[in-house]
Structure 1
Amino acid sequence: MSGGNNGKLIPRSILIFGAAGRVGRPLAAFLHHQAPQIQLRLVSSNRQRLDDLRRDFPYAEAVYANYFDLSSLESAVQGMEGVFVVAPTGTDERLAMTNLVAAIREAGTAVHVLRVLGLQPEANPRRFPQHIHDLGSGLPTQHPMAKRILDESVLPVTYLNIGATFMDNLMRTKEGLRRERKLIWHDRLIPWIDPRDVAEVAGRLFLSDNHRHIGQFHTLNNGHDLKRYSDVAELMSEVFGEKITHDGSKESFLNEYDKFGVRPSSELWNFFSYEEENEVVWALNDFVERTLERKPLTLREWLQEHAKILLASVPRRGMSSREPSH
């Protein structure tokens, strides 16, 4: 993906926020495999996870840092040339990114910062209905703010916009699948992507010498799956070899997920309703495929890989032994 006359330094050290998470963990593994000479520093905001990170990544340094504790950020970014930034839903991005920018500037060593965004961060906040604004730090109002702060910082940032839903979000639905062979979720239209592919994209961008990625806003999806959840239920039926129905009613959604502790279900439902009014924005693209130089994992392949976990039984037909290449 690089042209001639490239001018970006490849980081000799990389700091990974959210290193115990769905993207940070496979990113650390990918970087060690592809470029073991790079010094890795893995961050968790949960001190109890540090021992697990040290056990799983003995070749890396594991440190505690919190976006709201400036001194911990200053210590974490010290000497780091690459910085991978992801923030959990609910983060007050104004304070978090203001602190992080100050710490990175103070260190003065960053040559490439990758920031993960999502929830349609390119949307005009003036178009948000009041119930979205009322969520405060909850959902889509925060990521545009994060981007604005990072843009104004003039740091060497590349944005990875997750213009998709992570395939492993389907793990939330496994109770309904196991109990009733029913996929219970809002019938949202959304592209799909495996977070392991997102991790590899991030890793390959860090390892690229192409300076043209600096300042860019790359939207990621697998280029193949743009599906409603009712379509996913049909695909599950094919893959699992038994009928999977779909229930997209608000009543069923609230009843199902309030009891499992998923983020207040009414807030999620309201966000999906907002998203539905803007679903024309979704478009598949080949950025991930071009970056990986291979086809990203399809939703069918992910379902084949995780069928046993989702159903707690082996499907009768439609299974494949293919393992995704990550």
Structure 2
Amino acid sequence: MSSEKNRKPIPRSILIFGAAGRIGGPLAKFLHREKPCIRLRLVSSNQERIENLRCDFPYAELVYANYFDLPSLISAVQGMEGVFVIAPSGTDERPAMTNLVAALKEANTAVHVLRVLGLQPEANLRRLPQRMRDLSSALPTQHPIAKRILDESDLPVTYLNIGATFMDNLMWMKGGLRRERKLIWHNRLIPWIDPRDVAEVAGRLFLSDNHRHIGQFHTLNNGHDLMRLSDAAEIMSEVFGEKITHDGSRGSFLKEYEKIGVRPSSDLWDFFSYEEENEVVWARNDFVQRIIGRKPLTLREWLRENAELLLS
């Protein structure tokens, strides 16, 4: 075992992109609770949302910044030692991360950058169907671009790869659950995780002095749930006390989700089909549990907590 002591500075200030999101918001609350002396600066790319965020996070500084507006990024990162980076679906990562790297290098204050990735960013892009490669906004093509740019920057980056589906994605499916007690979604095999546990992982990595996390690619899931959506429907039946069926047909999927605008639904279905050909990659791991020091939330526990929101 290495005798080298931990030597990563704990950031005295942390910038959080996506503060209104399901990871950024819980991360800000976690850091304020665990280490209130840390100066928090929260970023929104929506000017109108800043006042609402100010009410939710009175202890933090709120700023506007946009990945495609370099001056706003330069201003946002000024003086920040920790930086949490997450990008909205459909982000063109090449200009976005190029701008962010330029801003961080100009500021020259970052001691730890956390970047959230997902959708198998470690996969060989040449294996993607050509139609998916031709979609410039497709996440499977964009996240590897983001990683490559950050790798080449030599900034102190740790990657948080979401090797799972977020449990609250089930909220997209509440229409079918409420109307017909039917879970309508591709019958993908996938691990699961609560975004709040991802936020705590990020927070604990920022608060860690272990320099060995710098440059690492950590894959996150709850270490417990690796199942298909049809299996999730069976757990729902047990938790809700009534029968929940599953419909994994393409026709039902497109009919259900095109009307509520969940991305281009046909493109999403194509990704699930690609994912199915590569589902052997999924594996449970205990990384989240080791970092947060407790067992992550299970899908069954999350369903108990959110039954009323899903069904009523």
Q: TM-score range by the shorter chain?
A: over 0.9
Q: Give 1:126 deviation, angstroms.
A: 1.2
> Quick check: 1:185 aligned with 2:190?
no
Q: Which amino acid aligns with 1:176?
A: G
Inter-partner Cα distance in structure 1 for 2:218 and 2:266: 30
Distance 2:206 2:166 in 1: 22
CA distance in 2, matches of 1:233, 1:19: 32
% identical aligned pairs: 80
Q: Distance in 2 between matches of 1:4 and 1:244?
A: 54
Q: 1:254 to 1:3 in 2, by over 3 A?
A: farther
2:83 paired with 1:79:
no
Read off the aligned partner of 1:43 and give its amino acid letter: V
Kindly state the Cα deviation for residue 137 of structure 1 after the two structures are TM-superposed: 1.5
Amino acid paired to 2:139? L
What's 1:31 paired with?
31
1:54–1:60 Cα contact (<8 Å) kept: yes
**Residue 106, structure 1, aligned to residue 70, structure 2:** no
CA 1:288–1:40 in 2, change beyond 3 Å: closer, same or farther? same
Map 1:247-258 → 2, pairs under 5 A: 247-258=247-258
Separation in structure 2 between the aligned mates of residue 203 and residue 132 of structure 1, nearest angstrom: 34
Please list every run of 5 or more consecutive structure 2 residues that lacks an aligned counterpart in the other structure: none
Structure 1 unmatched runs, 5+: 313-326
- 1:46 alignment partner in structure 2: 46
Q: C-alpha separation between the residues in 1 aligned to 2:13 and 2:28?
A: 12
Name the counterpart of 2:157. Answer: 157
Residue 4 of structure 1: how far off its partner (Å): 5.9
Report how far residue 138 of structure 1 moved.
2.2
CA distance in 2, matches of 1:124, 1:48: 39
Residue 130, structure 1, aligned to residue 130, structure 2: yes
With normalisation by structure 1, the TM-score equals 0.94
After superposing the two structures, state which structure 1 stretch, 133-142 or 61-70, moved more: 133-142
**Structure 2 counterpart SS, 1:246:** strand
Root-mean-square deviation over aligned CA pairs: 1.0
Q: Give the count of matched residue pairs.
A: 311
1:288 aligns with 2:249: no
User: What letter matches 2:63 in structure 1?
Assistant: V
Counterpart residue number, 2:18: 18
| Partner secondary structure for residue 192 of structure 1 | strand
Which residue of structure 1 lines up, in the alignment, with residue 175 of structure 2? Answer: 175
Displacement after TM superposition at 1:28 (Å)? 0.2
In structure 2, relative to structure 1, the CA distance for the partners of 1:279 and 1:239 (3 Å cut) is same
Counterpart Cα distance in 2 of 1:281 and 1:135? 24
Change (3 A) 1:3 1:35: farther
Distance, in Å, in 2 between the alignment partners of 1:128 and 1:179 is: 36
One-letter identity of the residue aligned with 1:54: R
CA-CA distance at 1:3 after TM superposition: 8.1
1:323 aligned partner: none
Letter in 1 for 2:204: R
Match of 2:272?
A: 272
Over residues 243-266 of structure 1, what are the superposed CA-to-partner deviations in whole Å (9 max), with x where a residue is unaligned?
A: 000000000000001111111110
Deviation at residue 135 of structure 1 after TM alignment: 1.9
**Partner SS for 2:147:** helix
Deviates more, 1:124-133 or 1:76-85: 124-133
Shift of 1:134: 2.2
Contact kept, 8 Å, 1:18 with 1:43, in 2: the verdict is yes
